[in-house]
Amino acid sequence: MLLSNLPKGTPIPEVLNIMHNIYNQGQRAFQYFYQLNGQVVFGSDTPSSPSYGSIPGLNGYLELRAMAMAGMTLKDILASATINNARALGLDQSIGSITEGKTANLLILDKNPLETISAYNAIDTVIIKGQAYKRSFFQLNQRYK
């Protein structure tokens, strides 16, 4: 059942149960696809904005965590967020890995993403086209927009 098809006034526990079932179905579909060596790429379909309801980066972090909870290895999660996306878009000659001559778009993390999924929320520095920015720079500037 789709949430949009629920009658007005449906009790909250029933809505939460339906949402839980939808999430579980999605997780099982992802596990099946991943176990069959499907090509997984990272990319949250929820746009972020500097607002309390859609914090930039949160949707992506939640997506990475969901991949881990579904059983995807940390190594494969890292590949899905980097080189797999570049390959899928035909851009792996210029982005997606750290190689001389490629565009320097990187996250410098305080934790190892091959050891814990929480590393993706331990961002120290963001490098965009070779220009480094401390994470605090983005947090400070988002508060005043």
Provide block-wise average pLDDT over 10 residues at a time, the chain (145 residues): 80 92 93 94 71 73 93 96 93 92 92 96 91 78 48
Is-contact 112 119, C-beta < 8 A? yes
Is-contact 58 67, C-beta < 8 A? no
Residue 64: inside a domain, yes or no?
yes
Beta-sheet pairing, 106-109 with 123-128 = antiparallel
Query: What pLDDT, on the 0 to 100 scale, is given for residue 145?
Result: 44
Query: What pLDDT, on the 0 to 100 scale, is given for residue 47?
Result: 65
Residue 6: inside a domain, yes or no?
no
**Which range of residues forms the domain containing residue 138?**
39-143
Residue 11: inside a domain, yes or no?
no
* Closest CA relative to residue 30, chosen from 76, 79, 75, 66: 66
Residue 18: inside a domain, yes or no?
no
Is-contact 77 113, C-beta < 8 A? yes
Tokens representing 33 are 């696809």
Q: How far apart are CA 40 and CA 29, in angstroms?
A: 12
Q: What is the count of structural domains for the chain? A: 1
Q: How far apart are CA 79 and CA 42, in angstroms?
A: 9
Residue 110: inside a domain, yes or no?
yes
Query: What pLDDT, on the 0 to 100 scale, is given for residue 51?
Result: 66
Residue 52: inside a domain, yes or no?
yes
Residue 117: inside a domain, yes or no?
yes
Q: What does the CA dihedral 105, 60, 76, 134 come to, rounded to 10 degrees?
A: 40
Residue 112: inside a domain, yes or no?
yes
